[in-house]
Amino acid sequence: MARLTLEGLRKVYEGGAVAVHAVDLDVADGELVVLVGPSGCGKSTTLRMIAGLESISDGRLFIDGKVVNDLAPAQRDIAMVFQSYALYPHMTVRENMRFALKIRKMSAADIDKRIMDTAQMLDIVPLLDRTPRQLSGGQRQRVAIGRAIVRQPKVFLFDEPLSNLDAKLRVQTRREISRLQRRLDVTSIYVTHDQTEAMTMGDRIVVMNAGRVQQVDTPIALYERPKNLFVATFIGSPPMNIMKGTLERSDAGLVFRAGDISLTIDAAAARGLGARIGGRVAAGVRPEHLYVAHAPPAAQAVNGFTVDVVEPLGSETLLHARSDSQELTASLAPQSLPQPGERVPLAIDVTRLVFFDEGSGEAIAVS
């Protein structure tokens, strides 16, 4: 195991284009940290700097307390699993797994034992004498993971390893990777653009956008307490509903108004929002905290919505509704649902509202 530390890591390309802005991150021994964000956000570039495949423009990279900025990839004791599998096409599975161990001049007996132990762990023993072209995509990915495991590195790096697999195989393989990572207890960095993968796999998640870290937190904290509007709308499927409006005083405390929506804010939240009276704010609420029926006591009904689209997903149904000024999505139980074109009141649980400064996009602390 190893501790991995990024201290102000930065990547600038020729011509001055900044791909990664001063990333600070401390990954504990045995932790699996996921880097997630849209295409071009800098997550893969960050991973490649850790691997030594991209030079570091500024900052320091530590593995087990040792600065490794100038070490070649082979000297960092890191194993990487690529999106494209990167298997040698002319070698069998066994030979692909053996290659790195032969370079280390391990004995034949030790190599064979490691390969067999790893193959049994991944259930690829029957594949050992096949070449990559004789394997399915899922089998190739398991072999690529096995080639990394057999080296017993200090750090595992995964660069979007599931993006070439179909939906069913993605779910199955991400479970396998999570189970293996816990079993091996190896420090791991996993890059993906898929926030579902990030939420289900990571001990912690690093959300990136435009080369900058937006938030580092546990999956639940990211979901419930996003630090800015980008995180709020990127994490979650469907994303958080955002309503832009103003805060006003009322006899009951504070009222949030956004077009034809008017919500009374409870006393505890009102204390934290007092300084924002008269200013522009955004209020966010997750789809599961909107109701058509059986709303909790804290929910406040808003009239004037028309059902636009209904998406039945089996365990839940997504209801998309619009008013004159807002479009909101609710996640509802699958039974007794309105139909497109129907007028419905939507009840919003105001205790679940998250407020942001409309200008900066930063979350407003309410407590």
For 114-140, the pLDDT digits (tens) are: 999 999 999 899 999 999 999 998 899
Determine the pLDDT at residue 338: 86
Mean pLDDT of 41-68: 96
Alpha-carbon distances of 314 from 41, 292, 328, rounded to whole Å: 33, 18, 20
- Residue 21's contacts (CB-CB under 8 Å, 6 or more residues apart) are 10, 42, 211, 212
User: What are the tens digits of pLDDT across the range 249-259?
Assistant: 877 778 999 99
- Give residue 333's pLDDT: 86
The whole-number pLDDT of residue 32 equals 97
Cβ contact 325:259 at 8 Å: yes
The CATH number for 241-357, chosen from 2.40.50.140, 3.40.50.2300, 1.10.760.10, 3.40.1350.10, is 2.40.50.140
pLDDT of residue 41: 96
Determine the pLDDT at residue 278. Answer: 85
Cα separation of 155 and 79, whole Å? 6
Half-sphere exposure for 100 (CA within 13 Å, toward CB): 23
The answer on pLDDT for 336 being more than 70 is no
pLDDT for residue 213: 98
Write down the pLDDT at residue 134.
Answer: 95
pLDDT beyond 90 at 23:
yes
Q: What local confidence, expressed as pLDDT, does residue 279 receive?
A: 85
Cβ atoms of residues 189 and 4 within 8 Å? yes
257-271 b/e with 16+ CB inside 10 Å = b?
ebeebebebeeebbe
Q: Decide which of 269 and 73 is more confident.
A: 73
Helices (H), 211-299: 219-224, 229-234, 267-273
Asked whether this chain's domains 4-230 and 241-357 adopt the same fold, the reply is no
- The answer, yes or no, to whether residue 274 has pLDDT greater than 80, is no
pLDDT of residue 277: 86
Phi, psi dihedral angles at 100 (to 5 degrees): -65, -30
More confident: 158 or 276: 158
What DSSP letter does each residue of 48-63 carry, written as one string?
Answer: HHHHTSS--SEEEEEE
Is the pLDDT at 337 greater than 80? The verdict is no
| Residue-level pLDDT at 132 | 94
Give the C-alpha separation, 139 to 123, whole Å. Answer: 10
Kindly report which listed range (34-38, 216-220, 276-280) carries the lowest average pLDDT score: 276-280
Q: Given this model, what pLDDT does residue 273 score?
A: 83
Mean pLDDT across the stretch 95-104? 90
Q: Average pLDDT of the chain?
A: 92
pLDDT at 167 (0 to 100): 86
pLDDT of residue 165: 84
Question: What Rg value do the Cα atoms of the chain yield, rounded?
Answer: 25
CA 217 from chain centre, in angstroms, equals 10
Share of the chain above pLDDT 90, in %: 74
Of the candidate CATH numbers 3.30.565.10, 3.30.70.890, 3.40.630.30, 3.40.50.300, the domain formed by 4-230 belongs to: 3.40.50.300
- In sequence order, what E strands does the chain have? 4-12, 18-27, 32-36, 58-63, 66-67, 78-81, 155-159, 187-192, 204-209, 212-217, 241-250, 253-258, 261-265, 280-285, 290-291, 299-312, 317-322, 327-332, 343-349, 354-357
Residue position matching structure tokens 């995180």: 231
Angle at 280 between CA 279 and CA 284, to 5 degrees: 130
Residue 67's φ and ψ, nearest 5 degrees, are -70, 125
Range in 32-41, 146-155, 267-276, 321-330 the model is least confident about: 267-276
Per-residue model confidence (pLDDT) at position 367: 53
**Domain regions of the chain by residue span:** 4-230, 241-357
From the CB of residue 76, how many other CB atoms can be counted at a distance below 10 Å?
20
